[in-house]
Structure 1
Amino acid sequence: MPEAAERLAAVVTHLWGSAPPLRLRTWDGSEAGPADAPVLVIRSRRALHRLLWRPGELGLARAWVAGEIDIEGDLYQALDRLAGLVWGREEPPGPTGRGRSALRALGTLRDPATRRLLGDALALAGAALPPPPPPEEVPRRNGIRHTPARDRAAISHHYDVGNDFYALLLGPSMVYSCAYWQDGPDTGLDQAQHAKLDLVCRKLALRPGQRLLDVGCGWGSMVLHAAEHYGVQAVGVTLSEEQATYARKRVAAAGHTDLVEIRVQDYREIPDGPYDAISSIGMAEHVGSEQYLAYADRLHALLKPGGRLLNHQISRRPLRREEDYRLDDFIDRYVFPDGELAPVGSTVSLLEKAGFEVRDVEALREHYALTLRAWGAHLEAHWDEAVRLVGAGRARVWRLYMAASAVSFERNGIGVNQVLAVRPEPGGASGMPLSRGPWAAQ
């Protein structure tokens, strides 16, 4: 009788119509698949349980986080090869469909070959029910998304995992958004992050004495850069208590408590406009489609006439039918609960509906792939310390999330854009230059 790896390879080949893109090694030591490919190691039948009961992305994610599967070889290459098989389709192929278990599918299949192969896979998995999800998984939530309380809980899940872990991951810049690799991929991460912060400041045309609001300020890097280099009075808001504590210590150490204030505050609760400029860098992905116009309206109200907004946001590709959009299972359950991506065109339209005039859109997709690979290299170099700080499961979440995201940016699955908008003066004056020169010049 064929060994486990050969039997699983036969199932994949039949259901997907092509041989496995990775070499398979199963718990019995058997191997099948291309000899020159990275190896997908399936360490136990428990992993197969998860994959059969939740086919596709969520089953794979659960097995990965639990340490029941692993990759030997280049993780980025492995995910690139898997992309077309698992993430490259709007619906998983084969008879199980999205979220439909192999056991349920088996009872309705008429094709004898498919019934036989799925039955063989179920026999390999054994009779036991699938194990519970890893503890790092956020349970499915009920109720209204993006209420202030639910947003606080979602932000806490992702960001309140320890500042020491983020310092290991991000390096001295402590910037958790796409860097700007203006001098090419050999630029150091800290230099590229400095260049991104300065690009934002130039686009906002910051000047001494102005008031800047940074929505989703993270560990304070943007407000500190703006205060130190442009002399502004800066307010940074975050929903993360740990971020705020860290940012306040940085501000005090830099001697800028007279210029910078850090608040734990929802953007919907900011009372003290108007501001001369607003930056929102990597925060709007948490807002949600149903709240996005309210978000844009609030920022518009907080900005003085003639003031500028820089909205830096990850985007997704538009669908033929936008009503088919669904949250990414792995990201929603393990990384950013309730996070939503929108096409850049939708973002521009909603900003303009709120009263902004959009003046510039810059795509930085390749820049984010480079950034994620740099973060991934930090994680790999300090793996043992990362596991000590947050546990093996959560460290594996970050390793998969960053590598898979890098591949998605590289494959043009997702993008990231800086949208520069202005609240026009009464009568329509924008105060904008006639060209990009003021911020494009180095």
Structure 2
Amino acid sequence: MADAAHRIVELAEHALSTPFPLRVRAWDGSEAGPTGAPVLVLAQRKALRRVLWRPGELGLARAWVAGELDIEGDLYEALDRLAGLLWERPEPGASRGPAEVVRNAAAALRDPVTYRMARSALALTGPGLPPAPPPEEARRRTGPVHTKRRDRAAISHHYDVGNDFYAMVLGPSMVYSCAVWPDVAVPAAASGAGAGPAAEGGGAATLEDAQRAKLDLVCRKLQLRPGLRLLDVGCGWGSMVLHAAEHYGVRATGITLSGEQAGYARKRVADAGLTDRIDIRVQDYRDVKDGPFDAISSIGMAEHVGSEGYLEYARTLYALVRPGGRLLNHQIARRPLVDEAGYHVDEFIDRYVFPDGELSPVGTTVARLEEAGFEVRDVEALREHYARTLRAWVANLEDHWTAAAAATSEGRARVWRLYMAASAVSFQRNRIGVNQVLAVRTGDEGDAGMPATRTEWLS
């Protein structure tokens, strides 16, 4: 009799000490778990073996990327139901080597219930070592983090996926950061991926409208005007420098570590007839020597710097902006921890999405910028805006699924779908946020050249 699903649910509930929130369908066709819930589909026995060897987020992610595990039904609801089990409970031990397996086996012999569960798990998965990780997983890195060479490799892993792939996901704006929507309402995580216009972009506002609004907000916060020099750190596919040059008349320099991004951005600049006002470089921000600039934008780049290098990042940008010049730092932030020493990067994100990426609380970002010499004048939280932006990107990916997978790989497309959907849930649940921090390098006598209120850029 087919009963793998019932045994899997029993194993999960024993391990988690709580009812499993999803329905499960196993490779033998059996089903178990709550009716009406999204269905966790284990299409292959190998998926369970991955999870047993690497319990928690990474084992599930590997099975997902390999196509051995899937979700039927509302992906957002499924991730929301799993959030409390995977992301909001202590991480299991990272190591599952032979020594730990032996220790666990010895413990199982002393506990009849655990022993029975262990035998059941082995019977389900069959013998053998853990399957090799999917090819989309980044290789393990050794040595010091955030050297220029290692940062280039990390950026290449994330951004050199293919411009065609990103064009399908991001849409015509080619902006890979949080948009600013006129109405940021999003459906509750359990109400459906496409539940109403808010999930799709809402009312008259499209994703492209919202991204233009974000770029314009940055330009107004920086008080850009004709003739000023703008440095855009982590310029992506050139959208920020193009908007600033076209609508505010600046002379702009955009830097990126991605060769594919730079090539795409240069073509956009040439097509717009702006090669005399925009310079796109493949360059590390630490190598920029032609300052000072009148303004600096850094949008979605500082997450790659890391906590140990953040003060250097802040000091470098401080040295590159003239007295009276402004910095707009747009950055994802995590919630602070009681014990900051216990912070660790999510394994799925580190292995498949942003190698060596690291999030800091917004208070830490503000402190480092001020320690470098900046005066922070404004902090604006855009958390709900990013949840909605991510849903729009997921919808784009799903609408172009066959072509997007062909442009990179089926596994890579699955990485991005899971990453973006899970991130949307994380923003909604306030596990992470995103903030625009406006800072100024004051003059010798403390003159910031700033208005007394926000009316300057809100009008």
Displacement of 1:63 after TM fit?
0.3
Asked whether 1:303 is paired with 2:321, we answer yes
Residues 38 and 77 in structure 1, CA contact (< 8 A), matched pair in contact too: yes
Find the residue that maps to 1:236 and give its secondary structure. Answer: strand
Give the counterpart letter for 1:78 in structure 2: A
Residues 213 and 277 in structure 1, CA contact (< 8 A), matched pair in contact too: yes
**1: distance between equivalents of 2:64 and 2:268?**
36
Asked whether 1:9 is paired with 2:9, we answer yes
**2: distance between equivalents of 1:32 and 1:183?**
40
- TM-score normalised to structure 1 length: 0.97
**2: distance between equivalents of 1:190 and 1:106?**
55
Counterparts of residues 34-53 of structure 1 (less than 5 Å): 34-53=34-53
Find the residue that maps to 2:309 and give its secondary structure. Answer: helix
Displacement of 1:79 after TM fit?
0.5
Find the residue that maps to 2:262 and give its secondary structure. Answer: helix
After superposition, give the CA deviation of every residue in 1:91-125 in whole Å (9 maximum; x if it has no partner): 34xxxx44447844232343321222122112211
Find the residue that maps to 1:300 and give its secondary structure. Answer: helix
Match for residue 326 of structure 1?
A: 344
Match for residue 59 of structure 2?
A: 59
Residues 56 and 91 in structure 2, CA contact (< 8 A), matched pair in contact too: no
Asked whether 1:347 is paired with 2:365, we answer yes
Asked whether 1:196 is paired with 2:214, we answer yes
Which runs of 5 or more residues in structure 2 are unaligned?
185-197
Match for residue 195 of structure 2?
A: none
Asked whether 1:107 is paired with 2:125, we answer no
Match for residue 239 of structure 2?
A: 221
Match for residue 426 of structure 1?
A: 444
Displacement of 1:5 after TM fit?
0.8
Residues 394 and 420 in structure 2, CA contact (< 8 A), matched pair in contact too: yes
**1: distance between equivalents of 2:90 and 2:4?**
29
Find the residue that maps to 1:200 and give its secondary structure. Answer: helix
Give the counterpart letter for 1:240 in structure 2: S
After superposition, give the CA deviation of every residue in 1:395-430 in whole Å (9 maximum; x if it has no partner): 100010000100100111100000000001001111
Give the counterpart letter for 1:7 in structure 2: R
Match for residue 179 of structure 2?
A: 179
- TM-score normalised to structure 2 length: 0.93
Residues 53 and 103 in structure 1, CA contact (< 8 A), matched pair in contact too: no
After superposition, give the CA deviation of every residue in 1:359-396 in whole Å (9 maximum; x if it has no partner): 00000000000000000000000000011111101010
Match for residue 91 of structure 1?
A: 91
Match for residue 293 of structure 1?
A: 311
Residues 298 and 328 in structure 2, CA contact (< 8 A), matched pair in contact too: yes
Residues 276 and 307 in structure 1, CA contact (< 8 A), matched pair in contact too: yes
Match for residue 206 of structure 1?
A: 224
Find the residue that maps to 2:308 and give its secondary structure. Answer: helix
**1: distance between equivalents of 2:267 and 2:37?**
47
Match for residue 163 of structure 1?
A: 163
Asked whether 1:132 is paired with 2:127, we answer no
Residues 382 and 434 in structure 2, CA contact (< 8 A), matched pair in contact too: yes
Residues 103 and 122 in structure 1, CA contact (< 8 A), matched pair in contact too: no
**2: distance between equivalents of 1:118 and 1:220?**
54
Residues 286 and 340 in structure 1, CA contact (< 8 A), matched pair in contact too: yes
Find the residue that maps to 2:107 and give its secondary structure. Answer: coil
**1: distance between equivalents of 2:215 and 2:116?**
58
Residues 65 and 397 in structure 1, CA contact (< 8 A), matched pair in contact too: yes
After superposition, give the CA deviation of every residue in 1:116-163 in whole Å (9 maximum; x if it has no partner): 212211221101211100000012111000000000001011111111
Displacement of 1:67 after TM fit?
0.3
Moved more, 222-231 or 3-12: 3-12
Residues 317 and 343 in structure 1, CA contact (< 8 A), matched pair in contact too: yes
Identity in percent: 70
**2: distance between equivalents of 1:107 and 1:44?**
29
**1: distance between equivalents of 2:377 and 2:10?**
54
**2: distance between equivalents of 1:160 and 1:91?**
31
Asked whether 1:388 is paired with 2:387, we answer no
Task: Figure out how many residues of one structure are paired with residues of the other and give that number.
Answer: 437
Displacement of 1:345 after TM fit?
0.5
Give the counterpart letter for 1:353 in structure 2: E
After superposition, give the CA deviation of every residue in 1:243-296 in whole Å (9 maximum; x if it has no partner): 000001001111111111100000000010000000000000001111100000
Match for residue 193 of structure 2?
A: none
**1: distance between equivalents of 2:440 and 2:414?**
41
**2: distance between equivalents of 1:392 and 1:435?**
49
Displacement of 1:183 after TM fit?
4.2
Match for residue 431 of structure 2?
A: 413
Displacement of 1:12 after TM fit?
1.3
Match for residue 79 of structure 2?
A: 79
Residues 2 and 28 in structure 2, CA contact (< 8 A), matched pair in contact too: no
Asked whether 1:277 is paired with 2:324, we answer no
Find the residue that maps to 2:298 and give its secondary structure. Answer: strand
Give the counterpart letter for 1:56 in structure 2: G
Match for residue 20 of structure 2?
A: 20
Displacement of 1:43 after TM fit?
1.0
Match for residue 153 of structure 1?
A: 153
Match for residue 142 of structure 1?
A: 142
**2: distance between equivalents of 1:54 and 1:229?**
51
**1: distance between equivalents of 2:237 and 2:337?**
35
Find the residue that maps to 1:108 and give its secondary structure. Answer: helix
After superposition, give the CA deviation of every residue in 1:335-358 in whole Å (9 maximum; x if it has no partner): 110000000010000000000000
Find the residue that maps to 2:137 and give its secondary structure. Answer: coil
**1: distance between equivalents of 2:95 and 2:343?**
15
**2: distance between equivalents of 1:353 and 1:210?**
26
Residues 358 and 420 in structure 1, CA contact (< 8 A), matched pair in contact too: yes
Give the counterpart letter for 2:377 in structure 1: R
Match for residue 333 of structure 2?
A: 315
**1: distance between equivalents of 2:454 and 2:25?**
54
Give the counterpart letter for 1:315 in structure 2: A
Find the residue that maps to 2:297 and give its secondary structure. Answer: strand
Find the residue that maps to 1:107 and give its secondary structure. Answer: helix
Residues 304 and 358 in structure 2, CA contact (< 8 A), matched pair in contact too: yes
**1: distance between equivalents of 2:94 and 2:16?**
14
Give the counterpart letter for 1:28 in structure 2: D
Residues 391 and 424 in structure 2, CA contact (< 8 A), matched pair in contact too: yes
